[in-house]
Amino acid sequence: MSGEDKKLGRVLIIAGSDSGGGAGIQADIKTVMALGGYATTAITAITAQDTTGVHGAWPVALDAVAAQIQVVLADFGADIVKTGMLGTVALIETVAEGLGDMAGEVPRVLDPVMVATSGDRLIEAKAVDVIASLLLPDAALITPNAPEAEIMTGKAVDGINGQRRAAEVLLNRGAKAALIKGGHIPGRVLIDVLQTQHGEWIFEAERIETTSTHGTGCTLASAVATLVAQGVDLPEAVERGRTYLRGAIRHAPGLGKGHGPVAHGWQLGDQQN
């Protein structure tokens, strides 16, 4: 696709806010912008968060979430919807209803944010089943890490075979594609497994030894969502999204005392990967 023909890529992000700027809505917006897309948002929660953990979280009123979705879709429209932190059953139901009413045919990238990098739990136990029943069916892509895949499927995800099994379960439950990320699985080589209704792709790369991993899941999901919104085929979008994320990790600014943020804008300056 030439530069002149490239779609802008309108990405509606439905997720929580990270006061530290490394994950959540902030990471999503930075990523979409860095890749040339246009981000709109529906904020679901406000967190007091830094590189050491989540120190507090306050849900946004359900009618406020619904109103954000409604006005954005009515005016801007969307080429894709990317969901992140949806911590309660009531919130998931609100989001599913809003999307069903106004964006039933718009593809969705579902990032099932359940556990923060710091280990903090970000979702009610009952909400896992509601995500599976209301948002997973017909999702264009779901992007769980290994712990999230285990929670959603009940399968052990401690290597590539476990990743494959988990992806199969998610496809059987209605997802059109599943990307099971391997960052939490020990090993020198990091492996991500993408399965769709049409095949399987394995992505391998040397693990980057770093503590700058805050928001990497949000960043990858938003990168893939932006590229798909711009018309890139899913396997290529995953490959390019991973390349973007690895560059962002390599150029991380080294901020904070814990798991630091990545450099979302690394491609926009003079820095080279």
* Confidence category of residue 164, pLDDT binned at 50, 70, 90: very high
Of 41, 196, 216, 219, which is the active-site residue? 216
Rounded (to 5) percent helix, strand, coil in the chain = 40, 25, 40
What residues are paired with 109 via a beta bridge? 82, 141
Query: How confident is the model over 246-265, as a mean pLDDT?
Result: 97
Q: Which pLDDT score, from 0 to 100, does residue 189 have?
A: 97
- The structural domains of the chain, ordered by start, are 10-152+211-268 (3.40.1190.20)
Digit-coded pLDDT (tens) for 7-64: 899 999 999 999 999 999 999 999 999 999 999 999 999 999 999 988 999 999 999 9
> Contact at 8 Å (CB) between 35 and 24?
no
> Is 265 one of the annotated active-site residues of the chain?
no
Of 87, 217, 241, 260, which is the active-site residue? 217
End-to-end, the C-alpha distance of the chain in Å comes to: 23
Of 16, 84, 215, 260, which is the active-site residue? 215
Using the predicted structure, report yes or no on whether residue 75 has a pLDDT greater than 90: yes
> Is 183 one of the annotated active-site residues of the chain?
no
> Contact at 8 Å (CB) between 176 and 109?
no
Of 31, 40, 94, 213, which is the active-site residue? 213
Using the predicted structure, report yes or no on whether residue 146 has a pLDDT greater than 50: yes
> Contact at 8 Å (CB) between 136 and 174?
yes
pTM over 0.85, yes/no: yes
Q: Which of 19, 85, 77 is nearest to 222 (CA)?
A: 85
- What's the CA angle centered on 245, arms 26 and 227, to 5 degrees? 80
For residue 108, the one-letter residue type is: R
Chain-centre distance for alpha carbon 187: 23
Give the integer Cα–Cα distance in Å for 176 and 167.
10
> Is 257 one of the annotated active-site residues of the chain?
no
> Is 213 one of the annotated active-site residues of the chain?
yes
Report DSSP letters for 96-159, one per residue. HHHHHHH-TTS-EEE----B-TTS-B-S-HHHHHHIIIIISTT-SEE---HHHHHHHH----SS
Q: How many residues does the chain have?
A: 273
Handedness of CA 120, 129, 87, 263 (dihedral sign): positive
- The CA-atom distances, in angstroms, between 9 and each of 5, 56, 178 are 12, 33, 21
Digit-coded pLDDT (tens) for 85-129: 898 999 999 999 999 999 999 999 999 988 666 566 667 778 889
Q: Which pLDDT score, from 0 to 100, does residue 114 have?
A: 82
Of 82, 155, 176, 181, which is the active-site residue? 181
Q: Which of 216, 227, 269 is nearest to 18 (CA)?
A: 216
Q: What is the mean pLDDT of the chain?
A: 93
Of 218, 219, 226, 260, which is the active-site residue? 218
Higher per-residue confidence, 195 vs 119: 195
Give the integer Cα–Cα distance in Å for 207 and 81.
29
> Is 216 one of the annotated active-site residues of the chain?
yes
> Is 258 one of the annotated active-site residues of the chain?
no
